[in-house]
């Protein structure tokens, strides 16, 4: 049994310690906003905040993060109105949308650490996440918008 | 907040509640809320045709006949109906079509339920507008009967019928509750009922996509997100080489893992079924399988495939299937002052759609009926996969078409093995099963854009003009593999392999494009841009080489061939203006390309730089112009074009599947790299404003990218790149 805090609530997960955090979130807790894309820390579709830092949930065994504070896209804001989410809508970023929970969590972590990132800093941070639909142009615009409106 | 409530309930209870949601069709309100559909439950409603119903509450429910792979047509298609209905957009709810009812089919695909080829807006533009106009006319008739006034003095405003002489108005919802509705004749759907295009207020306006709010909250439910009560999980170990089969299975290790229930042997693999996703995954890696070693596919080697294909393309004694022919190209080229010939190569490419393949199936009554949740591009072929796999009738199948996390052609095949896996495993255990392929499964057992070798042959007149054009494409038939039923209808015309080679927007004079249908040596599928992703590379890289051979400017050489195509000329001239084409650059260079996709046209200019030590090309800027007729959704069209450019740059520079002794060599995104944000150029797009029916948007910008980069490389280095992708190794070889 692994104990975690997920989106502010204490939870217990009945799964082997080597179970990826992503599977625990999706299949044990029903938080399906975080996505499986590669299982290899390559695409970032699974990005969540682990004790505040953007982390690939797909390669994080739950046994390694006992007691950690996990935030997922479902817990980023009460009503989907985090500045990054609002900027994502304003810039009409998502196409298929599958990677976008991860992109949003990555961007939110960036802005918490660096509220006024330069364009280069945005691109550098967001290069940890991939998007096959090619929404990159709008991702940059949306992060810039979120930084300016937050 | 709601998450804490979810988290406090037991896992079993949560599964049940999630299952209750998943058990119905999904619908999306234009407010972006994905909600449970309850179609047909309204006490009174107007139902003028199969497409739309108007409830007394004022809610307007429009059927979405395609499937959502991120292209934005969950907004664009209902919008076209709402325009002619004169609906208030905020009254609209969109309902996914979950049946293979050919009345809703795309006329572009012979009414098959198939979402592909960037054809939904184009194909449904007239049927959905007619349906909206028919509904509007019926509502006016009912209001006229109610007020006992002539119809021709009534007008509509958004979601209301108005009598300007009396000042009276009835909302569409009020009309839906009128007793007169029962006796109102539904008028014939006729083009005479349509608005003049100058009256459009939704088509051509920047209406926000209805799917984006849920996609920005992590709340949009995709195929892999479905969970139903009593559901088990399955993973599959697939044969390493096509057509091999499992000979013996040692399941001891897998069964020792807590939660693993059993294995199921499939025709081409072995499934591990478990109570949890993690047990199914761990079980997969604990299986030991002995495979047959008799498949002729073990002879497949991608390097040799291209050598063989090139030999075929270059052997002029072999005639191919004619794809397009005007005049006598052979005689024209032969009689020209000079002949120019070049060969262009392109490798296999993988879709890399982000949602992995999977499905949920609940096979009941020992295989006599089934309920399935599937993310695919086709209701028709998903349903057929169920009926063929289980040997049952369509009436015994309940289908739920789920949104896809990307597809790009991946989920189009006649027989869908990921769905078959879910059906066979569910049937074996008598419980619902979710099958999930890993990324490695999909890379290795994917279906690829075919490798191709193309021989381009043209004649030049003494003064430099073109005299005859031959485009010989040596590649396998994609259709013959991914949809043999379709191949029986169209053979030997393969639009998936050949699109682009028709090159119909230039006046090439005597021309012949032909398909030398080679042996298939990999699994194949349509891929973004289909044939044009490589045929336009060959044609437009060759066009630049021809201009050079003719001593002509590559722009002027093209414009001469576009003299009778003013819309095409505008695209080229506009993209030159956007790129400031004539300005001298320091350390970078520009390249131009122009190509069609179906009935759409695009021009593109790439600005590249080059690291001559590493051989890495960087695309700094990409400017593109597109003509796709009337634009229904302007901002989403820009998004699709931007995405198509990103896809094109990745395809041009990086993406490559290789096969050795029948085994795909790549595994995951670390050895099949797609374009990253830090490699993405600045992208500028201009869309032509034209009054013509809409054509394709989603793939039109991809084909021009690779040739524009190749032509920029020549401008920068004086060397040609003729093998896509332009990997550092190939770039260094070209520079040597």
Q: Domains in chain A and their CATH numbers? A: 2-75 (3.10.20.30), 83-149 (1.10.150.120)
Question: Is B568 buried (19+), middle (13-18) or exposed (0-12) by CB count in 10 A?
Answer: buried
Q: What is the radius of gyration, based on Cα positions, of chain B?
A: 28
Backbone angles phi, psi at B122, to 5 degrees: -60, -50
Contact between B17 and B24 (Cβ < 8 Å): no
More confident of the two residues B464 and B43: B464
Average pLDDT over residues B285-308: 97
State the nearest Cα–Cα gap between A89 and chain B, in angstroms: 6
Q: What's the confidence (pLDDT) of residue B28? A: 63
Residue B459 pLDDT greater than 60, yes or no: yes
| Of the candidates B126, B108, B110, B128, the residue with the CA atom closest to the CA atom of residue B118 | B108
Contact between B470 and B329 (Cβ < 8 Å): yes
CB-CB neighbors (< 8 A) of B211 in chain A: 94, 97
CB-CB neighbors (< 8 A) of B654 in chain A: none
Q: What's the confidence (pLDDT) of residue B6? A: 26
State the nearest Cα–Cα gap between A33 and chain B, in angstroms: 4
Q: Characterise B643 by phi-psi region: left (phi > 0), alpha (psi -120 to 50), beta (else).
A: alpha
Q: What is the pLDDT of residues B367-423, one digit of tens each?
A: 999 999 999 999 999 999 999 999 999 999 999 999 999 999 999 999 999 999 999
Q: Could you tell me which residues are beta bridge partners of residue B475?
A: B517
More confident of the two residues B464 and B3: B464
Contact between B140 and B91 (Cβ < 8 Å): no
Q: How far apart, in whole angstroms, are the C-alpha atoms of residue B714 and residue B733? A: 14
Do the two domains B2-215 and B302-349+448-735 of this chain adopt the same fold?
Answer: yes
Contact between B27 and B36 (Cβ < 8 Å): yes
Q: What is the pLDDT of residues B504-532, one digit of tens each?
A: 999 999 999 999 999 999 999 999 999 99
State the nearest Cα–Cα gap between B230 and chain A, in angstroms: 13
State the nearest Cα–Cα gap between A142 and chain B, in angstroms: 12
Backbone angles phi, psi at B639, to 5 degrees: -60, -40
Contact between B314 and B343 (Cβ < 8 Å): yes
Q: How far apart, in whole angstroms, are the C-alpha atoms of residue B127 and residue B119? A: 13
Average pLDDT over residues B72-93: 97
Domain boundaries, chain B: 2-215, 223-295+357-436, 302-349+448-735
Q: How many CB pairs under 8 A join A and B?
A: 205
- Edge to edge, the sheet with strand A9-13 lists A9-13, A2-6, A69-71, A47-50, A53-56
Q: What's the confidence (pLDDT) of residue B619? A: 98
Contact flag A30-B14 (C-beta cutoff 8 Å)? yes
CB-CB neighbors (< 8 A) of B218 in chain A: 31-34, 72-74, 101, 104
- Determine how β-strand B358-364 pairs with β-strand B288-291: unpaired
Q: What is the pLDDT of residues A126-148, one digit of tens each?
A: 999 999 999 999 999 999 999 99
Supply the DSSP string of B443-461, one letter for each residue: HHT--BBPPEEEEEEEEE-
Contact between B332 and B459 (Cβ < 8 Å): yes
Q: Which stretches does DSSP call E strand in A30-139?
A: 47-50, 53-56, 69-71
In whole numbers, what is the pLDDT of chain B averaged over residues?
Answer: 93
The hierarchical CATH code for the domain B302-349+448-735 is: 3.30.365.10
Closest CB to A73: pick one of B217, B403, B646. Answer: B217
Neighbours of B589 (CB within 10 A): 17
Enumerate residues 6+ apart whose C-beta is below 8 A from A114.
Answer: A121
Residue B11 pLDDT greater than 50, yes or no: no
Residue B72 pLDDT greater than 60, yes or no: yes
Question: Is B560 buried (19+), middle (13-18) or exposed (0-12) by CB count in 10 A?
Answer: middle
Residue B30 confidence class, pLDDT cut points 50, 70, 90: low
Residue B249 pLDDT greater than 90, yes or no: yes
Q: How far apart, in whole angstroms, are the C-alpha atoms of residue B100 and residue B394? A: 9
Contact flag B212-A138 (C-beta cutoff 8 Å)? no
| Of the candidates B588, B274, B573, B238, the residue with the CA atom closest to the CA atom of residue B421 | B238
State the nearest Cα–Cα gap between B376 and chain A, in angstroms: 13
Q: What's the confidence (pLDDT) of residue B372? A: 98
Contact between A52 and A110 (Cβ < 8 Å): no
Interface check for B69 against chain A (CB to CB < 8 A): the answer is: yes
Q: Buried b / exposed e across A102-125, counting CB within 10 Å, b at 16+? A: bbbbbbbbbbeeeeebeeeebbeb
Q: How far apart, in whole angstroms, are the C-alpha atoms of residue A34 and residue A54? A: 12
Q: What's the confidence (pLDDT) of residue B1? A: 28
| Of the candidates B197, B173, B187, the residue with the CA atom closest to the CA atom of residue B138 | B187
Closest CB to A30: pick one of B6, B72, B209. Answer: B6
Enumerate residues 6+ apart whose C-beta is below 8 A from B63.
Answer: B50, B51, B52, B95, B97, B104
CB-CB neighbors (< 8 A) of A131 in chain B: 354, 677
| Of the candidates B447, B470, B453, the residue with the CA atom closest to the CA atom of residue B346 | B453
Average pLDDT over residues A102-125: 98
Contact between B688 and B114 (Cβ < 8 Å): no
Contact flag A9-B353 (C-beta cutoff 8 Å)? no
Residue B361 pLDDT greater than 90, yes or no: yes
Contact between B354 and A45 (Cβ < 8 Å): yes
SS3 label, residue B607: strand
CB-CB neighbors (< 8 A) of A95 in chain B: 70-72, 406, 639-640, 643
Q: State ipTM.
A: 0.98
More confident of the two residues A24 and B206: A24
Q: Buried b / exposed e across B283-293, counting CB within 10 Å, b at 16+? A: bbebbebebee
Contact between A90 and A142 (Cβ < 8 Å): yes
Q: How far apart, in whole angstroms, are the C-alpha atoms of residue B441 and residue A117? A: 38
> How distant is the alpha carbon of residue B71 from its chain centre?
8
Token representation of residue B259? 């939660």
Contact flag A74-B438 (C-beta cutoff 8 Å)? no
Q: What's the confidence (pLDDT) of residue B463? A: 93
Average pLDDT over residues B132-161: 97
Token representation of residue B707? 């040739």
Residue B105 pLDDT greater than 90, yes or no: no
Q: What's the confidence (pLDDT) of residue B111? A: 78
| Of the candidates B596, B566, B570, the residue with the CA atom closest to the CA atom of residue B695 | B596
Q: What is the pLDDT of residues B665-695, one digit of tens each?
A: 999 999 999 999 999 999 999 999 999 999 9
Q: What is the pLDDT of residues B189-233, one digit of tens each?
A: 999 999 999 999 999 999 999 999 999 999 999 999 999 999 999
Residue B605 confidence class, pLDDT cut points 50, 70, 90: very high
Closest CB to B669: pick one of A88, A130, A136. Answer: A130
Average pLDDT over residues B307-333: 98
User: How far are the Cα atoms of A128, A141, B179, B459 from residue A73, in angstroms, in the given order?
Assistant: 17, 20, 48, 60
Mutation target for A interface from B216, B257, B675: give the one with most A CBs within 10 A.
B216
Enumerate residues 6+ apart whose C-beta is below 8 A from B732.
Answer: B615
| Of the candidates B311, B307, B343, the residue with the CA atom closest to the CA atom of residue B545 | B343
Residue B7 pLDDT greater than 80, yes or no: no
Q: Which CATH class is domain B2-215?
A: alpha beta
Residue B102 confidence class, pLDDT cut points 50, 70, 90: confident
Contact between B466 and B561 (Cβ < 8 Å): yes
Compare all CA atoms of chain B with the CA of A133 and give the residue at the minimum distance: B643
Contact between B674 and A130 (Cβ < 8 Å): yes
Contact flag B6-A99 (C-beta cutoff 8 Å)? no
- Determine how β-strand A69-71 pairs with β-strand B682-687: unpaired
Closest CB to A40: pick one of B646, B668, B682. Answer: B668
| Of the candidates B197, B148, B451, the residue with the CA atom closest to the CA atom of residue B309 | B451
CB-CB neighbors (< 8 A) of A38 in chain B: 439, 668-669
CATH architecture of the domain with residue range B223-295+357-436: 2-Layer Sandwich (3.30)
Q: Could you tell me which residues are beta bridge partners of residue B161?
A: B156, B170
Compare all CA atoms of chain A with the CA of B646 and give the residue at the minimum distance: A134
Average pLDDT over residues B117-126: 92
Contact flag B676-A124 (C-beta cutoff 8 Å)? no
């Amino acid at each position: 049994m692994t104990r975690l805090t997920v989106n502010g609530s204490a939870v217990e997960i009945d799964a082997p310690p080597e179970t990826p955090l992503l599977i625990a979130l999706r299949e044990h807790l029903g938080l399906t906003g975080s996505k499986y894309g590669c299982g290899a820390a390559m695409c970032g579709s699974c990005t969540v905040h682990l004790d505040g830092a953007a982390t690939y949930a797909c390669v994080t065994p739950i046994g390694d993060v006992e007691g950690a504070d996990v935030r997922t896209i479902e817990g980023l804001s009460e009503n989907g109105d985090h500045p990054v989410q609002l900027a994502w809508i304003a810039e009409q970023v998502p196409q298929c949308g599958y990677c976008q929970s991860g992109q949003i969590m990555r961007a939110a972590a960036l802005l918490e650490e660096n509220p006024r990132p330069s364009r280069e800093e945005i691109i550098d941070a967001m290069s940890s996440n991939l998007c096959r639909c090619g929404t990159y142009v709008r991702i940059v615009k949306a992060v810039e918008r979120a930084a300016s409106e937050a | 907040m709601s998450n804490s409530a979810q988290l406090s309930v037991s896992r079993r209870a949560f599964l049940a509640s999630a299952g209750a949601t998943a058990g119905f069709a999904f619908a999306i309100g234009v407010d972006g809320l994905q909600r449970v559909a309850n179609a047909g439950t309204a006490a009174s409603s107007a139902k003028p045709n199969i497409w739309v119903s108007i409830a007394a509450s004022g809610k307007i429910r429009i059927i979405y006949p395609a499937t959502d792979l991120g292209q934005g047509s969950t907004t664009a298609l209902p919008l076209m109906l709402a325009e002619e209905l004169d609906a208030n957009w905020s009254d609209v709810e969109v309902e996914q079509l979950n049946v293979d009812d050919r009345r809703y089919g795309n006329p572009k695909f012979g009414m098959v339920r198939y979402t592909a080829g960037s054809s939904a807006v184009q194909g449904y533009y007239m049927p959905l507008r007619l349906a909206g106009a028919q509904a509007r006319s019926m509502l006016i008739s009912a209001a006229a009967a109610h007020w006992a006034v002539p119809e021709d003095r009534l007008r509509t405003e958004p979601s209301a019928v108005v009598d300007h002489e009396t000042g009276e108005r009835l909302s569409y919802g009020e009309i839906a509750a009128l007793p007169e509705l029962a006796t109102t004749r539904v008028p014939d759907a006729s083009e005479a009922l349509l608005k003049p295009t100058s009256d459009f207020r939704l088509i051509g306006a920047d209406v926000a996509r209805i799917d984006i709010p849920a996609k920005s909250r992590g709340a949009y439910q995709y195929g892999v997100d479905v969970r139903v009560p009593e559901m088990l999980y399955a993973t599959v170990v697939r044969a390493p080489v096509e057509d091999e089969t499992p000979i013996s299975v040692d399941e001891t290790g897998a069964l020792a893992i807590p939660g693993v229930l059993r294995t199921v042997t499939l025709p081409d693999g072995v499934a591990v079924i478990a109570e949890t996703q993690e047990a199914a995954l761990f079980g997969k890696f604990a299986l030991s399988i002995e495979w047959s070693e008799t498949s002729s596919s073990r002879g497949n080697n991608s390097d040799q495939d291209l050598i063989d294909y090139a030999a075929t393309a270059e052997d002029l004694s072999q005639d191919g299937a004619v794809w397009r022919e005007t005049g006598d190209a052979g005689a024209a080229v032969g009689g020209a002052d000079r002949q120019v010939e070049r060969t262009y190569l392109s490798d296999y490419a993988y879709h890399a759609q982000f949602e992995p393949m999977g499905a949920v199936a609940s096979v009941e009554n020992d295989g006599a009926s089934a309920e399935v949740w599937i993310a695919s591009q086709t209701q028709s072929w998903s349903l057929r996969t169920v009926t063929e796999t289980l040997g049952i009738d369509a009436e015994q199948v309940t289908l739920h078409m789920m949104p896809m996390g990307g597809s790009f052609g991946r989920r189009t095949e006649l027989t869908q093995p990921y769905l078959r896996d879910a059906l066979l495993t569910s049937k074996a255990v008598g419980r619902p099963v979710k099958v999930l392929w890993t990324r490695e499964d999909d890379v290795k057992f994917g279906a690829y854009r075919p490798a191709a070798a193309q021989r381009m042959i043209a004649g030049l007149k003494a003064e430099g003009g073109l005299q005859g054009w031959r485009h010989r494409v040596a590649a396998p038939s994609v259709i013959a593999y991914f949809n043999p039923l379709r191949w029986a209808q169209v053979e030997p015309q393969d639009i998936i392999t050949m699109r682009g080679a028709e090159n119909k927007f230039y006046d090439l004079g005597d021309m012949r494009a032909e398909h030398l249908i080679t042996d298939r040596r990999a699994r194949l599928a349509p891929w973004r841009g289909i044939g044009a992703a490589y045929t336009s590379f060959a044609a437009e890289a060759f066009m630049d080489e021809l201009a050079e051979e003719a001593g002509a400017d590559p722009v002027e050489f093209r414009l001469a061939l576009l003299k009778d195509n003013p819309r095409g000329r505008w695209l080229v001239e506009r993209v030159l203006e956007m790129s400031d084409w004539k300005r001298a650059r320091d350390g970078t260079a520009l390249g131009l390309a122009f190509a069609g996709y179906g009935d759409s046209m695009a021009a593109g200019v790439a600005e590249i730089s080059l690291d001559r030590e590493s051989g890495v090309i960087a695309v700094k800027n990409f400017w593109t112009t597109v003509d796709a007729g009337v634009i229904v959704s302007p901002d989403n069209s820009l998004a699709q074009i931007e995405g198509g450019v990103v896809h094109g740059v990745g395809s041009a520079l990086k993406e490559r599947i290789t096969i050795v002794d029948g085994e795909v060599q790549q595994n995951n995104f670390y050895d099949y790299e797609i374009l990253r944000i830090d490699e993405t150029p600045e992208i500028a797009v201009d869309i032509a404003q034209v009054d013509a029916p809409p054509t394709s948007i989603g793939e039109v910008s991809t084909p021009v990218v690779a040739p524009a980069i190749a032509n920029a490389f020549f401008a920068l280095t004086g060397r040609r790149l003729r093998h896509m992708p332009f990997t550092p190794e190939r770039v260094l070889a070209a520079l040597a």
